[in-house]
Amino acid sequence: MLNAHPSMRLAGEVQGAMVPTAQRWEMLGSKVYRSSPPDSDGDASARKAVQPIDLLCDEQSEFKAFTMGTRPLPSDGAQRIVRGFKDIAWTSEALEMLDVLFPCNRKIFNTRANASAQASSKDAAFATPAVPRPVSTDLAVMLPHARAHHERDRLTGHTWRSHWIELGDDGFTTSQFNNLLSWLGEDSCRFTGVIHSNAPGAGSEGGAGGFNNTAGSWRDAANLLSGNCSLQVV
């Protein structure tokens, strides 16, 4: 839905990429990696001390590449683009890493009201008897971290940093996405309906089905935007 906005370029799931990024950051910050003097034989593995800060630019470039996509940029060269990505695998360390890597990031926490149904859906998609579901996708592990992160933003007066949106059994509502637009600072356009991209027949080229009998691409969602969207990144 948000990709319908002319200033938004949000990528799909990036396979939990922030989890190993946080692990690399922690590893490079350890004493072992921060100091590796050469031995008396001139070991080929000897190197200068590794500084964790050296990792940041490389990782920022990696996540930028994730969000490039193929959708054309606006013809108005003055309009800046909001880039982002969706993911379903998070740890507390990964959420902290997101803030380190992108200090001005804004997080949208999307959960389901029916946690049991969500857990079953995740198991069906990501777990088999031989391959258990990764801990980073376990709701019992993720949700407390996400709620604590969101609550910390609220209590410290940084409500602009994170937004919570919950999916009910009947799907998202139009008002939820319009509230999201307001939180982002967009007051000049509003959604008139909601699409469901996972509906039968829906996809990158759209198709029949979904909530409100609509299709599933950003092009279809754009038809549900009313007004002249004016949000720009400065």
Amino acid at 56: L
**Radius of gyration (Cα) for the chain, nearest Å?**
21
Residue matched to tokens 């080229």: 205
- Within a domain: 210: yes
How big is the CA angle at 193 (ends 104 and 125), to the nearest 5 degrees? Answer: 70
Partners of 84 in beta bridges: 10
* Domain contains 83: yes
Q: Taking a C-beta distance cutoff of 8 angstroms, is the pair 225, 191 a contact? A: yes
40: in domain:
no
Asked whether 180 and 168 are in contact (CB, 8 A), the reply is no
Beta bridge partners of 111: 166
Phi, psi of 8 (to 5 degrees): -105, 135
Q: In terms of residue numbers, what domain contains 74?
A: 2-32+49-227
Q: Using CA atoms, how far apart are residues 234 and 154, in angstroms rounded to an integer?
A: 24
Question: pLDDT of the chain along its 234 residues, tens only?
Answer: 888 898 888 888 888 889 999 988 888 766 555 555 555 454 545 556 666 677 888 889 888 888 876 666 666 554 578 889 988 888 899 999 999 999 999 999 998 888 777 777 766 666 555 555 555 567 777 888 899 999 999 999 999 999 999 988 888 899 999 999 999 999 999 999 998 765 544 433 333 333 333 445 777 888 899 999 988 665
In a domain, 192, yes or no: yes
Q: Is the pTM value of this prediction over 0.85?
A: no
Half-sphere exposure of 197 (CA within 13 A, CB side): 13
What tokens appear for 207 in the block? 């198709």
Query: Is residue 218 within a helix (H) or strand (E), and if so which, with residue range?
Result: helix 218-222
Helix (H) or strand (E) holding 152: helix 139-155
Total tally of structural domains belonging to the chain? 1
Domain presence at residue 42? no
Burial of 97 (0-12, 13-18, 19+ CB in 10 A): buried
Q: Is 39 within a domain?
A: no
Q: Is residue 190 included in any domain, yes or no?
A: yes
The span from the CA of 193 to the CA of 11, in Å, is 22
Q: Is residue 64 part of a domain?
A: yes
Give how far Cα 113 sits from Cα of 14, 93, 198, Å.
24, 25, 18
